[in-house]
Structure 1
Amino acid sequence: MMKRNMLAVICGLITCGALAQGGKSQWVYKDKTGKLTYKTTPTGDRIMDFSHAGYMGGGVALPVVPVKRTVQPSGSEDDTRQIQNAINEVAAMPLVNGFRGAVLLAPGVFTCSASLTLSANGIVLRGSGSGAGGTTIKMTGGRHTAVVIGVDNTNIALGRTERADDNEEGKQTTINHDYVPAGTNSFTVADASGFAVGDTLIIRRPVTDAWIHLMGMDDMKRDGKPQTWISKSAKEVIKRKITAIDANKITVDISLPDSYNARYVPGTTVAKAAVSHRVKQVGLEDLQIHCPPLEIDYGHAPYSGIRVGGDDCWVKNIYCRETMNTTVLAGNRITMQRVRISHTFTNLGASKPADFSLEGSQNLIDRCDVTGGNTYIVWTSSLIPGPNVVLNCTFKGIGSRIQPHQRWATGLLVDNCTVADGGIDFMNRGVAGSGHGWTMGWGVAWNCIAKTYIIQNPPGAANWAIGCIGNRQQTARLFDSAPVLGEGYFDSHGKPVAIQSLYLAQLQERLGISALHNINYESNSQVAFHNKKPALTPVKTDVDKTLGLNLAFERPVNTSEVRGNTREFGGEKALDGNNKTYWATNDGQTAATFEVDMEGPVDINALKVSEAPGNRIEGYKIEAQVQSDWMLLSEGKAIGDNMVVKFPKVTAWKVKLTITKAKDYPAISSFGLYLTSKKK
């Protein structure tokens, strides 16, 4: 069971000043000459070199592209066409040193009812500033993404069409090692005769029954139904460039983000990669994207911000207000720098959107800022290989998390990030979603601040939290209460290590101090990390005089229906500690469901439910999700004003009220869950 303290904050570990530095990591440290030195696991694995993340492979300044067209706000109901026409005109110009030119949006408000698409190499869409007096794209019309970089079809899910570009040519060989450690730069193949220095390789690591069994992903069930973690037809795909060949030994430019164990994944193939046809050298700069504040769950939200499906692209100085699932990085070597995202309202429901979705490799999210609750701030998609880096970012919002999300991503570095109201999780999500299972291997949290950490070691892999501040938690895989999974490597926990940023240290060692200057860091020192002075959000509670602390207070909730589809009668109104507000369905409804997500395993042995005035309910049952299945806690005909039910202690991930019969529309004013003491 998770070691959870509902009232816990980062007790005494965060001060109003700078955090004391000086700890030393045993996994990455500088030797007497100042060279980075790496500890290895017993099988030879080490933390990978993350410095190749970012535009053009890291340490390269973002280009300044000359303006070729300027667009003024028209004052009309829709500026989409005139902006797109200007983009298309620049896209038809010849490439000069890899660029065609920039479209400049003048100061003012541009109303756009559809996506702006940048689908040619070497073009930039630039505003006149992301603050007051700058450029604003005001989103209206039907559901769409504000700006799409990549394919000219906004209905194609990024991460699918773009990754289909990972083709190969020439003959194929196989890795000829019993074990290739994660973090290494070299391996032996059966036959290297078809390759040359400078070739880009495509390495395909298969998904096998043996590996799925090793990972414990072949026994997942939800509601009695087997869940599929990763299809056996899938492969983990990475690309690397050959830097040396010695007989059949190949050395590549970027260390490998995963291990290759022939016992579990035999037949890992290596071939020459075909030329990529993704869009390249496209930028978005200096503007604001704005849609109306929406009191809504993200699944029904009409507007998202930016989708990048190209390689060697960048997004900088952008302010996204109110958009949901705001950014997607589906290409490679993308830099998102100083992207700010704010949500006025907390996302409704237990299911959460992602503000930064990592669906490609070698991507850098740098000095970005998110404000808003109940979100996945950063997540990863399935089988996404590193290096990917989240650097020097500040994230605020109760219940929000950096949490790799789906089916085995590898090589993520969360470096000097602050998530003071939420968590950083490298974990087994079990049957969550549609069987997300193990989400991250070979991930590193470095010198971070977070309220909580769930760092777990997958079988045959590792995850690290080094120099981090915050509460360590242990849990079983999601929706199970046992067994509690072993922790990953916590190193110098509670004391930041002397190497301020691992990414910057690796970048400087590889390319020199000029590489830091190119990305606007003067040095790898605490001065550059303004987010190390976080302000904690005060913790609110709801306490019943008899039953104690309400463990359901302000939890995410999913409901089958909301009266009038307005926040006024949303499910969260039954969890706000105010008996004058309530969740309700529409007139004529006689059945409904109300499901509270406990966001982790929580012990409960009592509940209290109150109907809103009217007492309409004539049949109900209340169940807890325990060990991936539902356990009945209470069943009856009436709820009334203050129904209290006590039961033997259970460890619940979710609790669901099912209303089976009602005179008219059901309405619940309060729903509380408690762990009472024996004295009570």
Structure 2
Amino acid sequence: MSSFKKRAGKFFGSVIREFADKAVPQQHQEQHQEQPHNPQHPQPQGNRGDSFQQPFMAPPLDDRFVEVQPPKQPTNTFTADGTLEALKLPDEHRNTIPDFSRVGYREGHVQIPVVPVSVIIEPSNNDTVDDTARIQSAIDQVSAQPLEHIGEDGAAVRGTVLLKAGIYRVAGALIIHTSGVVLRGEGQDEAGTIVVATGTIQRDFILVNGMLNSDMGTVETQQAIAKTLEMMPTNGYMSSKKPKTTTMTGVYVPVGETHIPVESIEGFSVGERIVIERPGSDEWINDIGMDNLPPRPDSVASVQWKKESFTFNFERTILGIDDVTSALIIDIPMVMSLDPKYPPAKVYELIYRDSMISDVGIENMRLLSECDPVNGKDESHGWYAVVMDNTLHGWVADVTTMRFVSGIFASTWSRYVTIQDCSVLYPVSKPTKGGRRYQFCLNGQMGLVKRCFTNNARHDFITLARCCGPNVFVDSSGVDASNGTGPHERWAMGTLYDNITCNTINVRQRFWKGSGRGWSGAYQVVYNCTAQSQKSCFQNAPGSTNWIIGFKGGQTEQPEFEAQSTQVMAANATVQPRSLYWAQLVARVGDAQLVENRVGEMGRKSYNLF
């Protein structure tokens, strides 16, 4: 056995033992009290939805959509009776807790596929060999294969690159840039597949991104452009010849709503994917106080919010069209209110400007970053272990990362990504400096993290700036973090933290922190979560609402910045149902056992078929 493998085996063994001592057992068995309904297509019924069984009888417009009323004083009584209807908890503007059930790979109710193996790679068993080109060549070989449809959910795959158990050394980066390609190992422990990020290049290690190419992962290229904007290209939307419209004048569309009244329904059709674009406005930024951020204590000026940077684009699918109220009925509720006080939202056909890939995954392996063994603040090594971007319907499953600066990141242009049964352990970096130790990070739309664990983070489970959502973190835990879970930068919308255990959870005003973070998020839901410290902070931005329900842990008595406190409902208690996300998913699918078999504990990925 090589000296490297001996060292690795000894190290991995100690890590596994320490992890086992600290890990919090994950619980997932749900007690579902709701009655199943509409198991096949539980969608709103629309007048022009040909596949629907009956016409949708919309309530009068004035009954569903109301003008903004003066704020009411919050009640101190938690009155929900354990049903999903009671848990909507409308505020004075009729904003309600949205349905989060359509997040994750293929909307979360579809089992991640076991993609057949196309190429098998054996470990080099040589400490001096760089396996970058060999693994990337196999990925490219599978990328050239034709797509084949599997299952009944629309998945189209090419094949899997299987890394047999052993140690692989990668001095560059590995890139998946084509739909239907999976990179799989044979286990996360020391007897499984261990892929080592070698050398001193600060780079993200495995990148799943439809806008990259495989040549960008070579050592020479990474030395030149690692961690640059070239490695994180920005996508956008193309113009369409189909008609556009705007939201109806004078109508407030609350969070949680699926009926979007528009000036014209002409040219739109059931099944069409659309963008609801809420434009930024100077008036909104002024109303929430983000155009007058004070300088930092070190006299560095804060970056004032500008309307050009705060246009929010929400991707949705039309499930029905109601002629009576001129409303588009969308699949996923709004997670940001549309207030007629500000410019109307634009609605148009969704066409991506650049390539998005789908049905891609990283699974069943351990990723390890080499670093200076005597410098616990070393940062000349792997940054994020896995980054998914410009991706529809992807997954990271059964992956352990160790000693990277940060963990697993579903970035801004990720959609319907599931990260499940993963661990991010022992990050190596400057322990308190910004931009480090972000362990599980969702910054796209319809992202899902479930049954995951991390330690020694700055931030266990977070979103970043202008995250449109919805996103869900569920049944996951972190220990020994130095900072908090929650929205971290500049107005994330529509995140559910459900049965999360961590150091602190914060939804708050951050004012001049960073470069002028300001309000970190709005319309956030914290449900049956536990904070291990007594320093959590929950605050409402002007005109917005958060829902904190069943929170166990202490709140700071001295928030960093004064703002309206969010009411905590059922403090230090566990409310029913146990999990809001799982209850909503079962209610939508209509069959608790089917959900459990496909995506619950019984539906965990199996790798024994090939």
Per the normalisation by structure 1, the TM-score is 0.69
Map residues 55-74 of structure 1 onto 2, 5 A cutoff.
55-74=105-124
Deviation of 1:277 (Å): 2.8
What one-letter code is carried by the residue in structure 2 that aligns with 1:392? D
What one-letter code is carried by the residue in structure 2 that aligns with 1:196? S
Q: Distance in 2 between matches of 1:165 and 1:109?
A: 41
**CA distance 1:252–1:178, shift in 2 (3 Å):** same
Q: Is the 8 A contact 1:139 1:289 kept in 2?
A: yes
What one-letter code is carried by the residue in structure 1 that aligns with 2:208? I
Map residues 393-432 of structure 1 onto 2, 5 A cutoff.
393-419=476-502, 422-432=503-513
Q: Distance in 2 between matches of 1:69 and 1:404?
A: 40
Q: Is the 8 A contact 2:370 2:382 kept in 1?
A: no
**CA distance 1:157–1:474, shift in 2 (3 Å):** farther
1:319 is paired with a residue whose SS is strand
Match of 2:173 among 93, 103, 115: 115
Q: Is the 8 A contact 2:197 2:381 kept in 1?
A: no
Q: Is the 8 A contact 1:474 1:487 kept in 2?
A: no
Match of 1:131 among 189, 198, 223: 189
Match of 2:442 among 337, 341, 358: 358
Q: For each residue in 1:649-673, what CA deviation from the matched residue of structure 2 results, as whole angstroms up to 9, or x when unmatched?
A: xxxxxxxxxxxxxxxxxxxxxxxxx
Q: Is the 8 A contact 1:78 1:112 kept in 2?
A: yes
Deviation of 1:474 (Å): 5.0
Match of 1:233 among 298, 305, 308: 308
1:254 is paired with a residue whose SS is coil
Q: Distance in 2 between matches of 1:225 and 1:303?
A: 27
Deviation of 1:227 (Å): 2.8
Match of 1:215 among 249, 263, 288: 288
Identity percentage of aligned residues: 26
Deviation of 1:143 (Å): 2.4
Map residues 169-184 of structure 1 onto 2, 5 A cutoff.
170-176=242-248, 177-184=250-257
Q: Is the 8 A contact 1:292 1:322 kept in 2?
A: yes
Match of 2:44 in 1: none
Higher relative contact order (CA 8 A, sep 6+): 2
**CA distance 1:212–1:343, shift in 2 (3 Å):** same
Q: Distance in 2 between matches of 1:16 and 1:365?
A: 16
1:179 is paired with a residue whose SS is coil
Q: Is the 8 A contact 2:202 2:380 kept in 1?
A: no
Q: Distance in 2 between matches of 1:313 and 1:466?
A: 30
1:496 is paired with a residue whose SS is coil
Between Structure 1 and Structure 2, the one with more helix by share is 2
Match of 2:402 among 310, 321, 337: 321
**CA distance 1:36–1:159, shift in 2 (3 Å):** farther
Q: Distance in 1 between matches of 2:229 and 2:461?
A: 18
What one-letter code is carried by the residue in structure 2 that aligns with 1:116? L
Number of residue pairs the alignment of both structures matches: 496
Q: For each residue in 1:566-607, what CA deviation from the matched residue of structure 2 results, as whole angstroms up to 9, or x when unmatched?
A: xxxxxxxxxxxxxxxxxxxxxxxxxxxxxxxxxxxxxxxxxx
Q: Is the 8 A contact 2:371 2:381 kept in 1?
A: no
Structure 2 regions of 5+ residues with no counterpart? 1-23, 32-75, 150-155, 218-225, 605-610
Deviation of 1:169 (Å): 5.1
Match of 1:149 in 2: 208
Q: Is the 8 A contact 2:26 2:476 kept in 1?
A: no
Is 1:269 aligned to residue 346 of structure 2?
yes
Q: Distance in 1 between matches of 2:81 and 2:426?
A: 39
Between Structure 1 and Structure 2, the one with more strand by share is 1
Deviates more, 1:214-223 or 1:348-357: 348-357
Match of 1:469 among 552, 571, 585: 552
1:471 is paired with a residue whose SS is coil
Structure showing greater radius of gyration is 1
Match of 1:7 in 2: none
Q: Distance in 1 between matches of 2:80 and 2:492?
A: 22
Q: Distance in 1 between matches of 2:142 and 2:231?
A: 27
Match of 2:12 in 1: none
Match of 1:42 among 88, 92, 97: 92
Match of 1:243 among 303, 306, 319: 319
Q: Is the 8 A contact 1:219 1:226 kept in 2?
A: no
Q: Distance in 1 between matches of 2:508 and 2:301?
A: 20
Map residues 156-167 of structure 1 onto 2, 5 A cutoff.
157=229, 161-165=233-237
Is 1:448 aligned to residue 526 of structure 2?
no
**CA distance 1:299–1:92, shift in 2 (3 Å):** same
Q: Is the 8 A contact 2:379 2:430 kept in 1?
A: no
Structure 1 regions of 5+ residues with no counterpart? 1-14, 529-680
What one-letter code is carried by the residue in structure 2 that aligns with 1:259? S
Deviation of 1:160 (Å): 6.2
Per the normalisation by structure 2, the TM-score is 0.76
**CA distance 1:303–1:394, shift in 2 (3 Å):** same
Deviates more, 1:398-407 or 1:59-68: 398-407
**CA distance 1:496–1:202, shift in 2 (3 Å):** same
Q: Is the 8 A contact 1:327 1:355 kept in 2?
A: yes
Q: Distance in 1 between matches of 2:231 and 2:275?
A: 17
**CA distance 1:167–1:445, shift in 2 (3 Å):** farther
**CA distance 1:27–1:333, shift in 2 (3 Å):** farther
Match of 1:308 in 2: 388
Match of 1:594 in 2: none
Is 1:279 aligned to residue 354 of structure 2?
no
Match of 2:143 among 91, 109, 114: 91
2:242 is paired with a residue whose SS is strand
What one-letter code is carried by the residue in structure 2 that aligns with 1:517? N
Deviation of 1:181 (Å): 0.5
2:415 is paired with a residue whose SS is coil
Q: Distance in 2 between matches of 1:522 and 1:16?
A: 16
Q: Distance in 1 between matches of 2:338 and 2:379?
A: 38
Match of 1:203 in 2: 276
Map residues 586-601 of structure 1 onto 2, 5 A cutoff.
none
Q: Is the 8 A contact 2:291 2:306 kept in 1?
A: no
Q: Is the 8 A contact 1:49 1:387 kept in 2?
A: no
Q: Distance in 1 between matches of 2:26 and 2:140?
A: 50
Is 1:105 aligned to residue 178 of structure 2?
no
Q: Is the 8 A contact 2:378 2:429 kept in 1?
A: no
Deviation of 1:403 (Å): 2.9
Deviation of 1:52 (Å): 0.9
1:124 is paired with a residue whose SS is strand
Q: Is the 8 A contact 1:346 1:372 kept in 2?
A: no
Deviation of 1:16 (Å): 12
What one-letter code is carried by the residue in structure 2 that aligns with 1:149? V
Deviation of 1:249 (Å): 1.1
Q: Distance in 2 between matches of 1:267 and 1:103?
A: 48
Match of 1:548 in 2: none
Q: Is the 8 A contact 2:103 2:448 kept in 1?
A: yes
**CA distance 1:244–1:16, shift in 2 (3 Å):** closer
Q: For each residue in 1:608-640, what CA deviation from the matched residue of structure 2 results, as whole angstroms up to 9, or x when unmatched?
A: xxxxxxxxxxxxxxxxxxxxxxxxxxxxxxxxx
Deviation of 1:144 (Å): 2.0
Q: Is the 8 A contact 2:379 2:429 kept in 1?
A: no
1:87 is paired with a residue whose SS is helix
Is 1:487 aligned to residue 561 of structure 2?
no
1:49 is paired with a residue whose SS is coil
Q: Is the 8 A contact 1:168 1:202 kept in 2?
A: no
Q: CA RMSD in A?
A: 2.8
Match of 1:372 in 2: 456
